[in-house]
């Protein structure tokens, strides 16, 4: 029976508020790494803000905004080795950028173009998962299977608060505990599932309280504090690597943007609470921390932003330069050995399309 710490009550924090609450530090993170983390945050933030604009311009389709989720994405991935795998939810569509995936790839996904479908093995990033919570068993199976093969690979799976209500979460977490899979179940608790508040999702005191039911530790961290997210994930990854099994991390934040470009949160969200959160959004919070620490200058920050913007300019240009997809792609890749009917269907389709 695995040793279980009771889930934490308070939220782990490192970054102070510049006033009463003092700044902390993460052992082992030097200036370069602190800057690298800032670069990651800016990259994701820029991707997100540009995407909303591209959507308005009709250059990409519906888009799931992740503004103010960057600290959870960047902080958790920063705690991984390159060989570790990430299993993103649709909310984490751009997480591959942190692994060197071109922006054009993710933009193409949102443009409904085949160039948006990558080979997970190229980045150790699984496909964007649209059905809520269903990627959790995938991550668990991958982690368990890697361990069986004697490979030192950890998997992290990102999902939301709403996802914890799905049977897929439960069955994935159950397997993770039993198989002692080296996996991190990373929950972004932004307190909303589209228009459904956490209070309508579960009666559990905290989401981390679910962890003990799977025999794994449950950590709670401020999801807007990239350093706290990093440190908690690092701890979970170390536990996984040591063969001590899975960890559930609840990162608490608040969704301040619409669920997606098609959504109108004014119908349900607490604007007051959202305004507060916006003023304390995760990228600015970290930037102010670095300034206080004297690790980041105006110029560096500006340069990093410019770099990210440039990357997006290139990205959208490349995405828009993609040649139209050939109809053969309707049939290709569905099977390694397709049933004979598919080739006949393609021929007929070509004949009709002329």
Partner 1 sequence: MKELMLVDAVNDALHVEMERDPSVLVMGEDVGRLGGVFRATAGLQDRFGAERCIDTPLAEAGIIGTAVGLCMAGWRPVCEMQYDAFSYPALDQLINHVGRYRWRTRGKMSFPLVIRMPYGGSVRAPELHDDSPETYYVHTPGVKVAIPSTPADAKGLLAAAIRDPDPVVVLEPKLIYRLARGDVPEGEHVVPLGKARVVREGSDVTIVAYGAMVGVAQRVAVSLVGDASCEVLDLRSLKPLDEDSLLASVAKTGHAVVVQEAPRVCGFASEVAAILAEKAIFDLRGPVLRVTGYDVPYPYWQLEDAYVPSEARVADAVRRVLAA
Ligand X SMILES: Cc1ncc(C[n+]2csc(CCOP(=O)(O)OP(=O)(O)O)c2C)c(N)n1
Q: Which is the catalytic residue, given 255, 285, 286, 289?
A: 255
Residue 165 in contact with residue 202, Cβ under 8 Å?
A: yes
Q: What share of the chain is helix, strand, coil (3-state, %, to 5)?
A: 50, 10, 40
State the catalytic residue, choosing from 21, 56, 83, 268. 268
Place of tokens 């993710």: 106
Q: How many CA atoms lie within 13 A of 126 on its CB side?
A: 23
β-bridge partners, 339: none
| From 88, 224, 245, 258, residue interacting with a copy of itself (rule: CB under 8 A) | 245
Q: Which of residues 187-216 bind a copy of itself (CB under 8 A)?
A: 199-205, 209-216
23 or 263, CB closer to partner 1? 263
Q: Does 101 bind partner 1 (CB under 8 A)?
A: no
300 scored as a contact of partner 1 (CB under 8 A): no
Please report, as residue ranges, which positions from 190 to 209 form the binding site for Mg ion (by CB under 5 A). 190, 192-193
Site membership for a copy of itself, residue 242 (CB under 8 A): no
Residue 71 structure tokens: 């600290």
**Catalytic residue status for 255:** yes
**What residue 293 binds from Mg ion, partner 1, a copy of itself, none (CB within 5 to 8 A, per partner kind)?**
none
Query: What whole-number distance in Å separates Cα of residue 301 and Cα of residue 296?
Result: 7
Count of positions on this chain that bind Mg ion (CB under 5 A):
5
Is 99 in the active site? no
Q: Is 128 in the site for ligand X (CB under 6 A)?
A: no
Residue 91: contacted member of a copy of itself, partner 1, ligand X, none (CB under 5 to 8 Å, by partner type):
ligand X
- In whole angstroms, the minimum distance from the beta carbon of 146 to partner 1 comes to 5
Catalytic residue check, 268 = yes
Q: Which two tokens stand for residue 207?
A: 């989401």
Helices (H), the chain: 31-56, 70-78, 103-110, 120-123, 135-148, 167-178, 226-241, 271-279, 282-293, 298-321, 328-331, 341-353
Which positions are catalytic?
255, 259, 268
């Amino acid at each position: 029976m695995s040793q279980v710490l009771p889930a934490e009550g308070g939220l782990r924090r490192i970054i102070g508020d510049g006033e009463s609450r003092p700044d902390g530090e993460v052992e082992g993170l030097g200036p370069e790494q602190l800057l690298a983390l800032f670069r990651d945050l800016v990259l994701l933030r820029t991707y997100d803000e540009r995407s909303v604009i591209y959507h308005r311009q009709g250059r990409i389709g519906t888009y799931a905004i992740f503004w103010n989720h960057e600290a959870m994405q960047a902080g958790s991935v920063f705690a991984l080795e390159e060989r570790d795998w990430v299993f993103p939810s649709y909310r984490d569509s751009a997480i591959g950028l942190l692994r060197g995936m071109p922006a054009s790839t993710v933009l193409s996904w949102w443009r409904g173009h085949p160039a948006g479908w990558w080979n997970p093995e190229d980045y150790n990033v699984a496909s964007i998962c649209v059905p809520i919570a269903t990627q959790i068993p995938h991550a668990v199976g991958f982690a368990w299977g890697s361990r069986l093969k004697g490979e030192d690979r950890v998997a992290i799976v990102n999902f939301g608060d709403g996802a914890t209500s799905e049977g897929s979460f439960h069955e994935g977490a159950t397997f993770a505990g039993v198989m002692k899979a080296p996996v991190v179940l990373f929950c972004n608790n932004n307190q909303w599932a589209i228009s459904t508040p956490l209070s309508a999702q579960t009666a559990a005191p905290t989401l981390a309280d679910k962890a003990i039911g799977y025999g794994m530790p449950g950590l709670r961290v401020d999801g807007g504090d990239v350093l706290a997210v990093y440190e908690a994930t690092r701890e979970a990854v170390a536990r996984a690597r040591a063969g001590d099994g899975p960890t559930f991390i609840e990162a608490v934040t608040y969704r301040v943007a619409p669920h997606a470009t098609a959504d109108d949160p004014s119908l349900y969200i607490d604007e007051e609470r959202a305004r507060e959160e916006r003023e304390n959004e995760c990228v600015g919070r970290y930037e102010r921390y670095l300034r206080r620490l004297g690790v980041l200058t105006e110029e560096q920050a500006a340069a990093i932003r410019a770099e990210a913007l440039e990357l997006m300019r290139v990205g959208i240009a490349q995405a828009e330069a993609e040649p139209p997809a050939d109809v053969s792609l309707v049939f290709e890749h569905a099977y390694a050995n397709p049933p004979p009917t598919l080739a006949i269907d393609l021929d007929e389709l070509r004949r009709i399309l002329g």
